Amino acid sequence: RIENKINRQVTFSKRRSGLLKKAQEISVLCDAEVALIIFSTKGKLFEYSSDPCMERILERYERCSYMERQLVTSDQSPNENWVLEHAKLKARMEVLERNQRNFMGEDLDGLSLKELQSLEQQLDSSLKQIRSRKNQVMYESISELQKKDKALQEHNNLLAKKIKEKEKELAQEEVQNSVEVTPIETQPLESMNATGSGSLQANCNEETAAQTRGGAILPSWMIRPINE
């Protein structure tokens, strides 16, 4: 270890750049899958992956190492197996947390151009899926609202039809009530008129007879009408 902090940092930067360059060269020249992870003394992450998604290489490594550990440590106690499983899950959790920070636009300084391009493609694909799902939800919502509007219109038309029928029935009842009048009894009046005219004629005849019996006929102007 280099005791001088400045020299140690300079050496770290140089060796890191050289190591990343060598990893890239071996992946390109030899068509090998390479995954390189470096943590500085301050905990900063530097990595390189020949595959756009480093998780694929890490999962492949975990499968191979797990199979080897199963063969070598078949006689180990269950507690040791739990320790290895815990380390595996912890590493996986750290990778997922780092990816989440990258998707949120954080901790992008340590990513290479290839990794940034891969991250951009993943975000574009996610945005397309989100927009597609959003449009689908909007279309479904609009279709549902249209169905509700059609149902409300049909209900309103039915209510308007019932109101018109009710108004028509009320108008017909009013017309029937105005036409149905109690008939006037004319028979008593006719008998009364007949009786009155007969008595008047009888009185006139009696006066004429009386005047005749007296031997004197009065002039017409002296005869007072019975009606008066």
Please write the tens of the pLDDT for every residue from 39-69.
888 888 888 888 877 888 888 888 887 766 6
> Do the beta carbons of residue 190 and residue 197 sit within 8 Å?
no
More confident residue, 85 or 152: 152
90 φ/ψ angles, rounded to the nearest 5 degrees? -65, -40
Pair of tokens at residue 41: 């003394």
- Exposed/middle/buried for 111, CB within 10 Å: 0-12, 13-18, 19+? middle
Please write the tens of the pLDDT for every residue from 72-125.
555 555 666 677 778 888 888 888 888 888 888 887 877 778 878 888 888 888
Confidence class for position 71, pLDDT limits 50, 70, 90: low
A 10 A CB-CB count for 14 gives 10
208/186 Cα distance (integer angstroms): 33
16/29 Cα distance (integer angstroms): 20
Sign of CA dihedral 161, 162, 164, 165: positive
Is the pLDDT at 228 greater than 50? The verdict is no
> Do the beta carbons of residue 74 and residue 68 sit within 8 Å?
no
pTM confidence score: 0.37
**57-60-61-62 Cα dihedral, nearest 10 degrees:** 120
